[in-house]
Amino acid sequence: MMDKGISERHARACPANDGGRCACEPTFRAQVYDAGTGKQIVKSFPTITGARRWRQDAYAALRAGTLTAGRGPTVEAAAAAWLDAARAGVVRNRSGEAYKPSAIRGYEQNLSKRVLPALAQERLRELTLPQLQRLVDRLAAEGVAAATITATITPLRAIYRRSRQLGEVQTNPTSGLSVPAVNRRQTRFATSEQIDAVLVGLERPKDRALWATALYAGLRRGELQALHRENVDLATGVIRVERGWDAEEGRCRRSQSKVGARCRSLRCCATGGGVPDERTRDRAHLRRHPRQLRPGRAAAVAGGVERPTLHECRHGYAAMMIAAGVNVKALSTFMGHANIGITLDQYGHLLPGAEDEAAGLLDEFLARQAGEGEDDREYTTNYTAPSQSRF
């Protein structure tokens, strides 16, 4: 008697099809039912033993979620579903925060411009690492900047993370992908003297509060635009960054930094006008004409530097905090970074113990060890460092 779920298949002219004796080499078709899709998965084997083994493995794979009858969504469909979920706040970034509207627009633009024209109708679960690598190599050969290539692949990585969580795919072909290295531009930092010159030489003196808050509190442009009077406590020197501002969406649910996570000295911000609120025309001007807010030419001449942007003021704030001795964990919190790695990557070269200083400390340590070990005996180079060292 044939096993349930396995059927014997004969050649078309074989007498066994009419109840006679078999005159061919039959094959055996095994099938399993995928309740998730409501479809049968069927496969043929030359022996009944092979069919039996496959059915056992197939049922185990169905239970584990590694086998399904459906081919899954296309890249185009998966991208559309991801973007909708991100806009609704269902999909979140690695830090658990909702994606900013500007980030979602950037993802959508990169998908539409470079990913979908090449891969729209490919099945997400069938896309392979070699296919993606060829796409990356083609973009590089066309002269596309390394940063742009990275931005092109980033939304695909996010889509695959989500699809794995939903069980739509079992492998992620973006893992192991080789992309060109991005050469970071050197960050400009303003000195305290240059900062004073900027504030003194403002073309619009009433912009002083905005620039002082950017320089001495390190807020992002969008955080400055969304700042409310009730978020600022001059008595305790605390700014609560709860919202961000998007050019198209307006006030966002909240910025990347968490509520109440950033405390800064506001004495310099308060001098000459206080912190902007919704009643001032300065902030409305910044929203309508974000590129027009610049320090005066006199400031550039007096300070000896080019006119800084608001974001360069943020870098200046970070540099001053490091010079003041603020530890990197606190700085990461004040900057509103998603994790400490971002802070180290951006400002690690400014921290005490950077490459040159670390090399000097090691040289001094080895010199001390060598000096302590020298006596009338012959000096040996077979030195083993202690498990714990103190400089």
Q: Would you state the pLDDT for residue 200?
A: 72
pLDDT at 187 over 70: no
**How is residue 44 written in tokens?**
């043929």
How much is the pLDDT for 359? 64
Look at the alpha carbons of 50, 51, 54, 56 in this order and tell me if their dihedral is positive or negative: negative
319 or 206: which leads in pLDDT: 319
CA gap 117, 152 in Å, rounded: 12
Task: Give the pLDDT of residue 84.
Answer: 94
- Contact predicate 231/242, CB 8 Å: yes
- Mean of pLDDT values over 274-301: 47
**Domain over 75-165 is classified CATH 1.10.150:** yes
Among all chains, which residue has been given the structure tokens 């025309």? 281
Strands 39-45 and 6-9, by their bridges, are: unpaired
**What's the pLDDT at 366?**
75
Per-residue confidence (pLDDT) for residue 278, from 0 to 100: 38
- Within the chain, all domains assigned CATH 1.10.150 are found at 75-165
| pLDDT band at 298; cut points 50, 70, 90 | very low
Within 8 A by CB and 6+ apart from 278, the residues are 228, 229
Instruction: Give the pLDDT confidence score for residue 62 in this predicted structure.
Output: 80
pLDDT at 378: 41
CATH number of 192-350: 1.10.443.10
Cα distance between residue 269 and residue 259, in whole Å: 20
Q: Give the largest CA-CA distance in the chain.
A: 105
pLDDT of residue 295: 52
Question: What pLDDT digit, counting tens, does each position of 158-182 carry?
Answer: 999 998 888 778 789 999 899 998 7
The model's confidence at residue 283, banded by pLDDT at 50, 70 and 90, is: low
Shortest CA distance to 30 belongs to which of 66, 2, 11?
2
Please compute the mean of the pLDDT values over residues 261-266 and round it to a whole number: 44
- Report yes or no: 332 and 343 within 8 Å, Cβ to Cβ: yes
Q: 31 — phi, psi (to 5°)? A: -145, 145
Residue 382 has pLDDT above 50, yes or no: no
Give the pLDDT mean for 312-317.
Answer: 81
pLDDT, position 242: 73
Closest CA to 295 of 192, 215, 191: 215
**CA angle at 67 for the pair 64 and 68, rounded to the nearest 5°:** 120
Mean pLDDT in residue range 300-325: 71
Query: Would the pLDDT of 37 be above 80?
Result: no
**The predicted structure's pLDDT at residue 354:** 55
Please state, rounded to an integer, the average pLDDT across all residues of the chain. 75
CB 210, CB 220: distance < 8 Å: no
At 139 the pLDDT is 95
What is the distance between the alpha carbons of residues 73 and 65, in angstroms, rounded to a whole number?
Answer: 16
Determine the pLDDT at residue 377.
Answer: 41
The Cα 61–Cα 56 span in angstroms is 9
CA dihedral 139, 145, 149, 150 (to 10 degrees): 160
- Spell out the residues 6+ positions from residue 384 whose beta carbon is closer than 8 angstroms to its own: none
Instruction: Supply the pLDDT for residue 294.
Output: 53
Among 189-198, 251-260, 278-287, 306-315, name the most confident range.
306-315
Chain segment 200-253, per-residue pLDDT in tens? 777 777 777 777 788 778 888 788 887 777 777 777 777 777 777 766 666 665
Sequence-distant (6+) residues with CB within 8 A of 165 are: none
Residue 39 has φ and ψ, to the nearest 5°, of -125, 160
Is residue 111 scored above 90 in pLDDT?
yes
All CATH 1.10.443.10 domain ranges of the chain, comma separated, are: 192-350
Which of the residue ranges 52-56, 65-69, 215-219, 329-333 would you say has the lowest mean pLDDT?
65-69
* Predicted pLDDT at 367: 77
Question: b/e for 160-191, b at 16 or more Cβ within 10 A?
Answer: bbbbeeeebbeebbbeeeebbeeeeeebebbe
Dihedral pair phi/psi, residue 256, rounded to 5° = -65, -35
pLDDT band for position 271 (cuts 50, 70, 90): very low
pLDDT band at 96; cut points 50, 70, 90: confident
Of residues 166 and 299, the one with the higher pLDDT is 166
Q: How much is the pLDDT for 262?
A: 42
18-32 confidence digits (pLDDT tens): 989 999 999 999 999
Which position has the higher pLDDT, 316 or 200?
Answer: 316
Has residue 391 got a pLDDT over 90?
A: no
